[in-house]
Amino acid sequence: MASRDEAQHLVECDLCQQPVSFFCRRCGVSLCDPCVPIHLRVKSKNGYDIVDYTSKDDDDTSHCDSHPQNDCSAYCKTCDAPICILCVSIKHKSHEMSELSDKIEELLKVITRENDRLQSSKHDLERVFDHMTKLLSPIPSIYKKKKDEVTARGEEWHKQIKKTMKKLHQELDDMQKEHKVVLLKQKKEFEKLIGKLNEINRKTRKLQKSKNITEMQTFVPVIQKQETLSEFSQYSFPT
């Protein structure tokens, strides 16, 4: 970072563009050494206040708004404004006045009080700021831990789901075997019954063409005792 002297050399004189050395507070003009007397020869209604450029912002005086060449020496309570000695005797002659130092003291009390209030608030803010800084530090590890917990919980859920799936698969395998056994048994019974009915049908057709009464008498009890399908269990596949 450039020093104050180095920064000063970067500023040019307003009259000749040479490196600046002085500053006129009343006119707001930056000046080099040779241009100071030139500036002083120029007529100015505000007067002059030539200071070293490095102290141009250190002015602790107030200049009168009506007479810029004069410093303020009193305070007009009626107009609520600082004024110079000329204003006291002319424009503000009939107004209520006070010492400028009294007004400065009054304003400084307000400024000091408000600054104390703000600085007190600043201390509270700094404590909150420090607390927030401390909270920010562990955030990555806290949320990583939470994510790890979610991952672990997900893995546990996956194990439970896998276990449940295995159990359901086994139940379906057992159900499949049971249904297959039942259906195969019924199929054999149906095949046997259909075979008997086919045999009875052939015997009936034969007797329909015969006049053998003895054979008919023997066959009647057989066909009467033959049962037909009354009911059977129907199975549906699992959904």
Phi and psi angles of residue 32, each rounded to the nearest 5 degrees, phi first: -90, 175
Q: Which residues pair with 71 in a beta bridge?
A: 63
pLDDT recorded at residue 10:
76
What are the angstrom distances between the C-alpha of 114 and each of 1, 107, 111, 117, 118? Answer: 34, 11, 5, 5, 6
pLDDT recorded at residue 138:
92
**Digits of tens for pLDDT over the chain (239 positions)?**
344 444 445 789 999 989 999 988 778 789 999 999 999 988 877 678 888 888 777 656 677 888 877 888 899 999 999 988 888 888 888 899 898 889 889 989 999 999 988 888 888 888 899 999 998 999 999 999 999 999 999 999 999 999 999 999 999 999 999 999 989 998 998 899 999 999 999 999 999 998 899 989 999 999 999 887 765 566 666 66
- Cα separation of 239 and 236, whole Å? 9
- Whether 38 contacts 48, CB under 8 Å: no
If residue 98 lies in a helix (H) or strand (E), which one and from where to where?
strand 97-99
| Number of alpha carbons in the 13 Å side-chain half-sphere of residue 234 | 3
At the top level of CATH, which class does the domain 1-60 belong to? Answer: alpha beta
What region, left, alpha or beta, does residue 28 occupy, with left being phi > 0 and alpha being psi -120 to 50 degrees? left
pLDDT recorded at residue 119:
87
Cβ-based neighbours of 65, under 8 Å, separated by 6 or more:
81
pLDDT recorded at residue 59:
59
pLDDT recorded at residue 33:
93
